[in-house]
Amino acid sequence: MRNLITCLLCSFIISGCGFSLRGNYELPDSISQLRLASAETHSALERALRNELKPYNVDIIESGVAGDSNLLNVYLLSDTLDRRLLSLFTTGQVAEYELIYTVRYELQFSQRDAQLVEFDIKREYQDDPDAVLAKSRELELVLSEMRKQAANQIIHQISIAQRSSANTAIPKI
């Protein structure tokens, strides 16, 4: 009985302070639809964002379809992957890179100015010239993970921006 009371007390304290699990972003009820457009048709980031929005039951309206002017508009402007050299083998071949995935997008809420947002996601990547095929597959998986993280970050920033007042800028995370 004592353990049960202690457990309940701890859960009330944690929930009372606003704690939520990582990746558990609650989108406001006012975002039931959004218009999603991308500079690059059917880009990998756009597909990742669509997949990450599925659990939130958000209807995604294509950019060319006429609809409510009060919709949230998300414009994916660009996503680029850059590499920065971190270390070399004694033979002079590259041993380690830092992958830098940069995402630029624009949020347009109704009755508000468009907000341009840019952020980077960084990962270290170890290269092995003896396992080129395996490393190319690993690079694809890392890039896919980075896109998924970028999509989650966009959703999180939408959630924060929706709750902020009309005159404040979107906070950077």
In a domain, 17, yes or no: no
Is 82 strand, coil or helix?
strand
- Sequence-ordered list of residues with C-beta below 8 angstroms from that of 79, at least 6 positions apart, any chain: 43, 44, 45, 101, 102, 103, 104, 147, 150
pLDDT of residue 68: 59
Q: Of the segments 82-91, 131-140, 146-155, which one has the largest average pLDDT value?
A: 146-155
In a domain, 4, yes or no: no
Query: Looking at residues 80-88, what average pLDDT do you find?
Result: 90
pLDDT of residue 100: 96
**Structure-token pair, residue 144:** 């896919």
Q: Return the higher-pLDDT residue of 173 and 11.
A: 11
In a domain, 77, yes or no: yes
Is 111 strand, coil or helix?
coil
Q: How many domains does the chain have?
A: 1
CATH assignment at residue 138? 3.30.160.150
**Structure-token pair, residue 60:** 């995604």
What pTM did the predictor assign?
Answer: 0.75
Identify which of 110, 109, 103, 112 has the alpha carbon closest to the alpha carbon of residue 154: 103
- pLDDT bin (cut points 50, 70, 90) of residue 109 is confident
Q: Return the higher-pLDDT residue of 9 and 49.
A: 49
Residue-number span of the structural domain to which 59 is assigned: 29-163
Question: For residue 133, how far is the Cα from the chain centroid?
Answer: 28
**Per-chain mean pLDDT for the chain:** 82
State yes or no: pLDDT of 83 exceeds 60. yes
